[in-house]
Structure 1
């Protein structure tokens, strides 16, 4: 069996920046174990598999170590592949997944994710979290992710966590975020528990951060930057119970896997 794949850098206009994702458009689902092994073989933060089901596309995402319930950059990458590589002509693509209904719309040169807003619950800042991050945490918020609010953009840049200790924190991963200097807010994301030491650019974590920063800053339209080594920009807005996350994408590779 031969399958075609496309590698896309998401949330960037330039190759080798943003967040890379591998995308497979399948005619039918492969066994879960095989999809996990394919993701491990590519060894990117995410490998996305999409299958058309009725009017929508069912999408699933795998890190090298585990399947995850939601992934923004690999959804953006999947939409780019369907639009640019497979000739989808609709202005909006609808996706289904275990986290609910998602959508991606073209707005000029950007693709816009339509994701559910996630309200986190404020929790006490634990000593173990500060020790794992190696810095002072002003606030902590828990959803499927643990979000740590830091004092400044520089504190986010300087954060050098103990990844082994961080993997013991509750949730899929840990977000560190602060008010930005040139952007409304900035962040980084560490998820060693699911095989990602640091994710370059993470769309799904903005489902948590956008409602938080919209309330803190008193506005719905927010520009964000993820301060990983590769870096990326996200253009966000809060619309009721949905978060719109816009960005660019570029194709950097395509090929065939032989199974």
Structure 2
């Protein structure tokens, strides 16, 4: 299936969902506060009192900031763990245990330590999407043929050359697998943080409109959250195509 046909099928699926949503509002007697029409939800964009730009920008910063932080620290630790087995043996069990702690339970602590605002929500997004990147990258760095490593060592290659020429290219498919999973988790992490304590952001906006039973505005906020997540995921797919697929790495 070509890239164009995939986009066409995805567009058709999305259009079908909107049509079914619209038909459900037309053919049923559900009140608008339970299921508003797509047009009613779309009309909420033009409501100036909602300050959509402020909320969208805050949530975007939290999602992208937490995600970039997770990629940088996750990949960095994975490289260190692959080079220093003793460090891996000391820290990996601790990281596994910390990953078992529900992130929602940690959110109040982050707020106490870091206060209200974008930073604690960014940290929550980071904690949720960090571990998949660390694990997949670490595994990718280890999934190298020993014979190939021995061959380049026999050619007097140093550790840095082995990493750049052999380990890093071989780990890229694993890294991007983790990055795609983390892209979804980063969105959830940022919204969880906004649910618990925040003064702006789409999650905060959702809770405010829930109290007013303004379902159409809530649906529009969900659409914006989805678009931010899709944008992040699309960037990861584009980067994967440039550095992995087009160069034939992993094939």
Q: If the length of structure 1 is used for normalisation, what is the TM-score?
A: 0.25
Task: Name the structure where strand makes up a greater proportion of residues.
Answer: 1
Length-normalised TM-score, structure 2: 0.26
Q: Which structure has the larger Rg over C-alpha atoms?
A: 2
Q: Higher relative contact order by CA 8 Å / sep ≥ 6: 1 or 2?
A: 2
Relative to its length, the structure with more helix (as a share) is 2
